[in-house]
Amino acid sequence: DVKVTQSSRYLVKRTGEKVFLECVQDMDHENMFWYRQDPGLGLRLIYFSYDVKMKEKGDIPEGYSVSREKKERFSLILESASTNQTSMYLCASSLRGPVYEQYFGPGTRLTVT
C-alpha cells in the first residue's frame, strides 16, 4: 500500500513565524503535491513537484515556497505565517503521467494566531 505521511496532524504557530510542513511518501512516486482545503473552496493546489529539485506553481502559491531535495520528501514552507494561512494542508503523491490517481496524506491542520 502507498503510504503518505505528514509531519504533524495539528500545528499552532504565531503570526510572522516561519513554518515547515513535511511530507514523505514511500512508493517512489515522481509527482508530489501540496493543497490547502478550506470549507466551500475544495482542494486548491499550492505547488507541485514532478521530480527532485523541480517545482511548479499551482493556483495559490503566494506566501508559500517548497523544497524537494529527495524524491520521497516534499516540504511546504510558510516564510512568514499569517492568519489567512490557517487551514488544512494536504500532501499527495502520484506516479508521473496523466492517468494516475493521487494518494493523500492525513493532513496537517495549521492554526496561525
Partner 1 sequence: GQQVMQIPQYQHVQEGEDFTTYCNSSTTLSNIQWYKQRPGGHPVFLIQLVKSGEVKKQKRLTFQFGEAKKNSSLHITATQTTDVGTYFCAGKGGGTSYGKLTFGQGTILTVHP
Kindly list the residues in this chain that would bind partner 1 in the complex (CB under 8 A): 30-31, 33, 35, 40-45, 48, 50, 56, 58-59, 90, 92, 94-107
Least Cβ distance, residue 19 to partner 1 (angstroms): 20
Give 80 or 108: the residue with its C-beta nearer to partner 1: 108
Give 42 or 62: the residue with its C-beta nearer to partner 1: 42
3-state secondary structure of 85: helix
> In sequence order, which residues have a C-beta less than 8 Å from that of residue 38 and are 6 or more positions away?
44, 87, 88
Please say whether the dihedral angle defined by the alpha carbons of residues 62, 54, 111 and 109, taken in this order, is positive or negative: positive
Amino acid symbol at 105: G
Per DSSP bridges, beta strands 10-13 and 108-112 are: parallel
Give 52 or 79: the residue with its C-beta nearer to partner 1: 52
Least Cβ distance, residue 20 to partner 1 (angstroms): 20
- Say if CB 19 and CB 77 are below 8 A apart: yes
Least Cβ distance, residue 80 to partner 1 (angstroms): 26
Give 80 or 91: the residue with its C-beta nearer to partner 1: 91
